Amino acid sequence: MSVQDQKKHLLQIFPDYGLNIVRGAGSKLWDNSGKEYIDCSSGWGVSNIGHSNPSLSLAIFTQAQELITCPGVFENPRREELASLLVDLAPDGLNQVFFTNSGTESVEAALKFAIASTGRKKVVSMMRGFHGRSIGSLGVTHKKKYRNLFEHLLSPDVQFVPFNNSQKLSDIVTEETAAVILELVQGEGGVHIADQRFVELARELCDKTGAILIFDEVQTGFGRTGRIFATDHFGVSPDILCLAKALGEGFPVGALLLSDKLDSLPKGIHGTTFGGNPLAMAAGIANLRYLIDMNIVEEVPEKGHFLMESLERVLSTDHRFRLVRGLGLMIAIEFKGRVQRLAELLIENGIIVIPTGRNTIRLLPPLIITFDEIRRVIKVFEYLSNDNTW
């Protein structure tokens, strides 16, 4: 089927990359004409252990023959297994797990649990923060473009503070605050890293006022930043950790890890039909075992440094270039002007990237990307820095 044929029936609501992708393996994707790409988007921060990782495919296949669905009212060994793997990886004090099917659902559940456990209404979120697009999670997402048409459905009890502004955070968190939610590295907002002091302060303020601290690690989780979780860089534990994207590597799996502050929620106040189904659990288990057994995260800091330093080196003489920033393999390249055309040229040259805002290119390559593949990415950037058509 051609791209044109597919377009007949699909809602045209995504920006159009003009690509028809049919296959993936490791860091690579192929389109329907057989052209190869290095996927520096990981399918939007999902394929951390690489596309169609064989151990994941096998686990999904094997589980599909055993049991696919099983609601949360029953116990299931796969669910127990993934929950205990997550608890073992997580920072101290997060001993309970609730499974969802996506990032936005993890955030929705976190907000509901925080409100239910505190009996309070107000939620503090960050400017430039992104937490999803369903009504509750959109309510804590900052960007006007996503909110405008739906503002009337979004909670007036959400207050936004400038990210990393300690004074404003101290002023706004009170005994009426149910939750403070933040990303430790803002992803969609353009890869902005939280200050150590800001994160510590958020913890202190929540302890002082009894508010629930929620870290949204939907994008930063599972090695993306060079540690299993971004909170490992900060040494600060939240009360709720929201996860999704790279937990199922494309199989829809999300999770919340919760501290015992949230252990007496009224039964039935939340639920899910698909969340925690054995097939999703099998995908999550196979992924985490691979991530741990193969020591995937160990090389991430070095790969990230190499990629960032090389980008700086080849772009520094380009007057259109502003800066590179990032943590691990979560990287943003900021330019002085628009990057739309550059992103298109990168794709034409076999490198898939995510443009963010007008002047930023985001790179989230699979963590298993090789140094040779990184060199290929750099070569294309170097080549395009000599191209003045963008």
Q: For residue 328, state whether it binds ligand PLP (rule: CB under 6 A).
A: no
DSSP per-residue string spanning 301-312:
HHHHHHHHHHHH
Q: For residue 244, state whether it binds ligand PLP (rule: CB under 6 A).
A: yes
Minimum CB separation of residue 281 from ligand PLP in Å reads 17
β-sheet bridge partners, residue 26: 51
Q: For residue 140, state whether it binds ligand PLP (rule: CB under 6 A).
A: no
Q: Using alpha carbons, list the distances in angstroms from residue 295 to 30, 208, 223.
A: 27, 38, 10
CA gyration radius, the chain: 21
Minimum CB separation of residue 283 from ligand PLP in Å reads 14
Give the one residue of 132, 136, 276, 284 binding ligand PLP; rule: CB under 6 A. Answer: 132
What DSSP element (H or E) covers 325?
strand 321-327
Instruction: Please identify, using beta-carbon distances, which residue of 136 and 226 lies nearer to ligand PLP.
Output: 136
Distance CA 241, CA 255 (A): 8
Q: For residue 41, state whether it binds ligand PLP (rule: CB under 6 A).
A: no
Give the one residue of 43, 103, 139, 365 binding ligand PLP; rule: CB under 6 A. Answer: 103
Give the one residue of 214, 218, 332, 363 binding ligand PLP; rule: CB under 6 A. Answer: 218
Show the binding pattern over residues 66-85: x = contacts ligand PLP (CB under 6 A), - = does not. Answer: --------------------
Give the one residue of 183, 239, 299, 373 binding ligand PLP; rule: CB under 6 A. Answer: 183
Q: For residue 249, state whether it binds ligand PLP (rule: CB under 6 A).
A: no
Instruction: Please identify, using beta-carbon distances, which residue of 255 and 380 lies nearer to ligand PLP.
Output: 255
Burial class of residue 36 (count of CB atoms within 10 Å of its CB; 0-12, 13-18, 19+): exposed
Query: Which listed range, 103-111, 171-179, 310-318, 352-360, lies at the site for ligand PLP (CB under 6 A)?
Result: 103-111
Burial class of residue 132 (count of CB atoms within 10 Å of its CB; 0-12, 13-18, 19+): buried
**Per rule CB under 6 A, count of chain residues that contact ligand PLP:** 15
Minimum CB separation of residue 266 from ligand PLP in Å reads 25
Q: Which residue is nearest to ligand PLP (CB)?
A: 103
Q: Which residue has the tokens 């001993």?
A: 95
Instruction: Please identify, using beta-carbon distances, which residue of 187 and 226 lies nearer to ligand PLP.
Output: 187
Q: Using alpha carbons, list the distances in angstroms from residue 247 to 136, 166, 183, 305, 376.
A: 22, 31, 17, 24, 28
Give the one residue of 41, 118, 219, 225 binding ligand PLP; rule: CB under 6 A. Answer: 219
Q: Which residues contact 292 (CB under 8 A, 6 or more apart)?
A: 89
Minimum CB separation of residue 104 from ligand PLP in Å reads 3
Instruction: Please identify, using beta-carbon distances, which residue of 183 and 373 lies nearer to ligand PLP.
Output: 183
CB 284 within 8 A of CB 253: yes
Q: Which residues contact 61 (CB under 8 A, 6 or more apart)?
A: none
Q: Which residue has the tokens 């495919």?
A: 57
β-sheet bridge partners, residue 360: 334, 356
Instruction: Please identify, using beta-carbon distances, which residue of 177 and 220 lies nearer to ligand PLP.
Output: 220
Instruction: Please identify, using beta-carbon distances, which residue of 106 and 259 lies nearer to ligand PLP.
Output: 106
Reference 360, options 344, 336, 377, 378; nearest CA is 336
β-sheet bridge partners, residue 97: 257
Instruction: Please identify, using beta-carbon distances, which residue of 128 and 385 lies nearer to ligand PLP.
Output: 128
DSSP per-residue string spanning 93-124:
TEEEEEEESSHHHHHHHHHHHHHHHH---EEE
- Show the tokens assigned to 286: 């196979």
Q: For residue 189, state whether it binds ligand PLP (rule: CB under 6 A).
A: no
What DSSP element (H or E) covers 372?
helix 371-385
Q: Which of residues 338-377 bind ligand PLP (CB under 6 A)?
A: none
Instruction: Please identify, using beta-carbon distances, which residue of 186 and 310 lies nearer to ligand PLP.
Output: 186
Give the one residue of 41, 47, 48, 104 binding ligand PLP; rule: CB under 6 A. Answer: 104
Q: Which residues make up the interface to ligand PLP (CB under 6 A)?
A: 102-104, 107, 130-132, 183, 187-188, 216, 218-219, 244-245
